[in-house]
Amino acid sequence: MYKIISGGQIVGYSETIVYIKLHGNGCYVPCAKSEAEGFCIKPAVEIDTETRLVDTVYALTDSGLSGAEPTGEVEEISGTLQIAFIENVFNTIVGSLPVNISAEKALLLRSKIEEAIQALDLPFSDASEIPELYPTLRQTGALVPYRTIIRWTDGGLYMAAQDLWDLESNDPAHHPGGWVKIKYRDGIRVVPETISGAEAFSFGELGWWGDTLYKSIRAGEKTNIHTPAQWPEGWELQG
């Protein structure tokens, strides 16, 4: 099994790999790894609600192949170990013994986990440890309530700064004013220059102000919207 990395992220896995170069007439030709300009792999892709294995081409360098392909690198991994790892993660999450699970059941399980995390209203410091389990936008048109935390395509967590409809026009890329990106360092939030209502700190919550660590001492949950510079009385310097 092969792990494919592009743009610094894992973009998929493939059972097969074919090393390729560009033919003079413009098509791709299989070749030895030593003379390859790129490779073709078969990651699982969702097409029309079904998962298919799709031939996908990556160039090994920016100048490889036609120049139009994304660049990628490949790492050979043990398929057996990968499956065992995934099963371990799954069993840990659901707290069960190994079971057979269908794709439909896994999706249902995933949606329940997402719902549960939203219902828990975890503090940001906890959220930073499990960003993968937060939901993402799916352009369903559904309501995204104020302060809902989502996972976005840049890998970051965003909080809705207002009630929003789940539409492309409202996502963080198209409507940045509707979202607040949650910034962390070592699991502790960075205090923004301007703290919006959605970002308000709770009593006892730590925050980085520059390289200095403070603790909010304003009473109540999500009440402190002033930085240590704006209102020093609301913060306690940490040693």
Residues that bind another protein (CB under 8 A): 16, 18, 20, 23-30, 40, 42, 47-48, 50, 52-53, 55-57
> In whole angstroms, how close is the CB of 32 to another protein at the nearest point?
13
Closer to another protein by CB, 52 or 112: give it.
52
- Compare residues 92 and 102 and give the one whose CB is closer to another protein: 102
Q: Which long-range contacts (CB under 8 A, 24 or more apart) does 80-88 make?
A: 82/1, 82/13
Is 216 exposed, middle or buried (CB count within 10 Å of its CB: 0-12, 13-18, 19+)? buried
Question: Tokens in use for 195?
Answer: 């703290």
> In the complex, what is the shortest distance from the CB of residue 62 to another protein, in angstroms, rounded to a whole number?
18
Nearer to another protein, 29 or 84 (CB): 29
Q: How far apart are the C-alpha atoms of 34 and 11, rounded to whole Å?
A: 24
Name which of 25 and 34 has its Cβ closer to another protein.
25
CA 178 to chain centre: 19
C-beta of 49: minimal distance to another protein in Å?
12
Shorter beta-carbon distance to another protein: residue 19 or 134: 19
Give me the least distance between CB of 99 and another protein, in Å please.
24
CB of 27 to another protein, least distance (A): 4
Q: Dump the DSSP string for 107-174.
A: HHHHHHHHHHHHHHT--HHHHTT-GGGS--------EE-TT-EEE-TTS-EEEESS-EES-GGGSTTT
